[in-house]
Amino acid sequence: SNRSWQLVNMIIALDAMGGDNAPQEIISGAIQALEEIPADVSFKLVGDESLIQSELDKYQVDLSRFSIVHTSEVVTMDDPPTAAIRGKKDSSIAIAVKLVKEGEADALVSAGNTGASVACCVLKLGRLPGIDRPAIATVIPAPHGKFVLLDSGANVDSKPEMLNQFSIMGEIYAKAILELESPRVGLFSNGSEDGKGNEVTKATFKLLKENDYNFIGNVEGTDLFKDKVDVVVCDGFIGNLVLKSCEGIAKGISGMLKENIKKRQVRKVGYALSKGAFDELKEKTDSRATGGAPLLGVNGIFIKAHGSSDSYALKNALKVAHELTQKQINKQIIAGIEQEA
């Protein structure tokens, strides 16, 4: 974008109408972000002006870093992906993407409809040179730290060339965000042996082997939480299944644990004594702490927050947007793709 060279004052656009808890939790997250994001960053709140204003009026803080961009439509979670492009041209997501395209914002955060926001970004912002399809990169907490999973939901089907591009973007992202010197890149498959996988995985394996980074081969589901891999490459269909399964398992185990603790008095005492450890674990595995996942490969910075995001998750998504803009992640991706080409 034409603003990226002189990021003296950064502007982040926020889709105030996107997500299950909009606009209340979205605005609340933006208010919280004021304290944690430097004072030279301002925010454009995109959506229904009267709704946004009545939310802002609830807070006794300096609102000078906010401006409102009024839109008359909202893309709902049930709308088809094309809604933001063809149908609802004055929707909060369509206008927020337009702000980035026209250089009136440096980054965009939305918790709205994933299909519609991805389609809108790809079509309006275009792709970075050398990228066929963008990918959503999600940081997942693990016992040893974190790993990046991509694509976690932008493309249901992917060709080997696309998966190869995902791997390069993921490696660059892990260096920039997880601050790893030489991230271990693994291809997600149904076994860790070299010959495992379907036709696409096998063809992708050959491409990844030629890259100039730390490719460790195939990884399977049991490897993800064992400190074996930092970047996990797969298509968006599998990635989304992995992501939702991890979230479901975490909630399920937590529920089972609570039920079993309640059964006996002695367990309740034990729980009280180890509450600190449980709290630490909860904090570490809280997906809201990551806030949002970037759509890597589009010519602009778009952070997709979870549809069910609350204010804490949204605040953290805004922090990710700020960090990626500051680190000029897209320039790094362009350089990395050129290097591997």
Residue 27 sits at φ, ψ, to 5 deg, of -65, -40
Stretch among 49-63, 126-140, 255-269, 294-308 having the lowest mean pLDDT = 255-269
The one-character DSSP state at 78 is T
Residue 96 pLDDT: 97
**Alpha carbons 93 and 301: distance in angstroms, whole number:** 14
Q: 60 in helix, strand or coil?
A: coil
Q: Same CATH topology for 1-131+297-340 and 138-288?
A: yes
1-131+297-340 folds as Isopropylmalate Dehydrogenase (3.40.718)
The one-letter amino acid at 157: D
- Using CA atoms, how far residue 152 sits from 31, 43, 139, 167, 227, in Å, is 29, 27, 10, 13, 20
Residue 29 pLDDT: 97
pLDDT digits (tens, 9 = 90+) for 240-296: 999 989 888 888 888 888 888 888 888 888 878 887 777 777 766 666 777 899 999
Residue 279 pLDDT: 74
Percent of the chain at pLDDT exceeding 70: 96
Contact by Cβ (8 Å): 117, 95: no
The model carries a pTM of 0.90
Architecture of the 138-288 domain: 3-Layer(aba) Sandwich (3.40)
Parallel, antiparallel, or unpaired: how do β-strands 10-15 and 107-110 relate? Answer: parallel
Domain ranges (residues) in the chain: 1-131+297-340, 138-288
The one-letter amino acid at 323: E
> What are the start-end ranges of the H helices in 112-235?
114-125, 160-177, 199-209
Q: Choose between 38 and 278: higher pLDDT.
A: 38
Residue 57 has pLDDT above 70, yes or no: yes
Residue 3 has pLDDT above 50, yes or no: no
